[in-house]
Structure 1
Amino acid sequence: PGFPPVIFIHGFFMDSRMFKKQIHYLQDKYRIICMDIRGFGRSHCAKSKFTLYDIADDIIKLADHLKLTKFVICGMSMGGYIALRACLRYRERVCGLILIGSQAERDNEETVQNYYFLSKSWGDINIRNNIIEQLLPIIIGKNERDQDSWRVTWGSYDNEIIKNAMHAMLTRDEIIQQIKHITIPVLVIHGEQDLGIPVEAAIKLRANLKYARLAIIPQGAHAVNITHANITNHIIKTWLQDYFC
């Protein structure tokens, strides 16, 4: 497969399986790597707190292990937070960014309080189930098969996984000024009806990035790469062909 390799980083609550439709679509032409962040998917549970920069360091360790000098990072939601920080810390390694349903700013106070409630209450099975049912349509959309698959995964997370990942998200720094110095091409994809991170965040990303292309998915929710896979795949492939090969 051709240049560049693309490393996919999933969002909070998810794991690398969320990109299976992108893998299938892109793998004939590009080398695709999907990473599970600490505590999710097949990665070991993080027993201690970590930051988004720690995950950025993990990406570079993985790239070194795979002997990848330069690569594109595609991050969804929290994965986008990590991708931006990896780019800021390792400019010489990252040659492009794809940000799906993500943002550069910190969360508003209401979202922060909701996250704290989720983190504190995860041990209560009834509250946990209620939270999962509220989040499924926001993140995954209304497809019942997709919901059933992720419902089981989400219900299996223990307190420690949730608390440590949540800590990394809630303590992240504000980088809206720093991203103005990013000089590589960036693709910003966002659902028009994203309730998790409103589409205004994507518009702000484009305004603060020098070489950004913005694609807004009509009627799209948060994880448009799952709910609107065909159009998302086409947008990604077109961008890769325009800027790379």
Structure 2
Amino acid sequence: MADISLHYVELSNGETMAYRERMGGTRPLVLVHGNMTSSLHWDVLMEALPSEYKIYAVDMRGFGESSYHTPVDSLHDFAVDLNEWTEKVGLSSFTLMGWSTGGGVAMDFAADHSQKVNKLILLASVGTRGYPIFKKDEHGQPIMTQPLHTKEEIAQDLVQVLPILRAYETKDKDTLRQIWEMLIYHDNKPDEARYERYLDDMLTQRNLVDVDYALAFFNISREITVMGQGNGKASGITMPVLVLSGRKDRVVPEQMALDIQKDIGENACIHYLDTGHSALIDDLPGLIQVITGFIEDEEEART
């Protein structure tokens, strides 16, 4: 049984950052979760990865066991927290893996701190050009020319945001389960005890609208999107990058993986998985094989 424990670090901005750590191992791997989750959702991977990996999984500000005193406005805010956390725990060289929204945070971090990130793994990641939320028509379909620009507008979105906010407020785990089984667990589900822990974990999120706003305006490409001009930071991601795209992903379209590859460049390679948005549940053995192969092949190539 993997020895995984929960720890806390105080950041200079007054936030408390929680993280899970698996004891043992010498190959450091840092995991960054996505929206509606926390480090808890990495449990199956932390339990199953080979023992030579030293694994850390953080709770971003406003998720899980971490505090949320100051609202975020950008994924960069999370990346700044992550950088101070690496300094507090003494990590200066590691593989960084981000899932979904966490992929955006990981890309921002890797662009600013390329000397710390040996390899970058992006699992079903938001693209380099963000994830806007659009105004909906009378049928609930997005009007692609009318993005929402304010947190107030996003909070009132009747399709993507408000149902989740209401479920959080009323602790309505049945609605959360329906949403996840429509979008994520449509082929496979966690075992029931684990599923209940995941649902309880979702209810700890305090920053849904702020994260959706940050995702909408995230753009590290050089392209102009409906939300504005990108900052071009993707060109600073110089380490080997593995982009994992699920063929059955209902949350992140393939185009986002293609954008990542285009905006980062030749050091980014796409690998397709026969999974939905959670390869952790859909094909854990296959996921482990791909990520360990990527890490170990790159290490052997340098020696």
- Deviation sequence 1:185-224 (CA, Å, 0-9, x none): 0011121011101122213322333212221112x11011
Matched with 1:232 is 287
Cα distance in 1, alignment partners of residues 171 and 82 from structure 2: 35
**TM-fit CA distance, 1:29:** 1.4
TM-score normalised per structure 2: 0.70
Identity of aligned residues (%): 20
Select which of 169, 178, 197 maps to 1:133.
Answer: 178
Query: Alignment partner of 2:207: what SS?
Result: helix
Is contact 1:119–1:166 with CA below 8 Å preserved after alignment? no
CA distance in 2, matches of 1:80, 1:228: 19
Query: Which residue in 1 is equivalent to 2:267?
Result: 211
Q: Hey, which of these two has a bigger chunk of strand by percent?
A: 2
Secondary structure at 1:37's aligned position in 2?
coil
C-alpha change, 1:97 and 1:216, in structure 2 (3 Å) is: same
Write the mapping of 1:46-195 to structure 2, written as runs, cut at 5 A: 46-50=68-72, 51-102=74-125, 103-108=127-132, 109=134, 110=142, 113=157, 114-118=159-163, 121-122=166-167, 125=170, 129-130=174-175, 132-141=177-186, 142-143=188-189, 145=191, 147-154=195-202, 156-157=203-204, 160-170=206-216, 172-177=217-222, 178=232, 179-195=234-250
SS at match of 1:32: strand
* 1:132 CA drift (Å): 4.5
Considering fraction of residues, name the structure with more helix. Answer: 1
Check 1:118–1:167 CA distance in 2 against 1; reply closer, same or farther (3 A cut): farther
C-alpha separation in 2, matches of 1:53 and 1:187? 21
Q: TM-score, normalised by structure 1?
A: 0.85
Residue segments in structure 2 that go unaligned for 5+ positions in a row: 1-24, 135-141, 149-156, 223-231
Change (3 A) 1:169 1:127: farther
Tell me the distance in 2 between the aligned counterparts of 1:115 and 1:68: 36
Aligned residues: 239
- Find the aligned partners of 2:298 and 2:196 in 1 and give their Cα distance: 37
The 2-side partners of 1:67 and 1:115 are apart by: 38
Contact 2:40-2:201 at 8 Å conserved across structures: no
How far is the alpha carbon of 1:89 from its aligned partner? 1.8
RMSD (Å), alpha carbons: 2.6
How far the C-alpha of 1:150 sits from its partner, in A, is: 2.3
Runs of 4+, deviation exceeding 6 Å = none
Q: State how far apart, in whole Å, the 2-side matches of 1:147 and 1:24 are.
A: 16
In structure 1, stretches of 5+ residues that fail to align are none
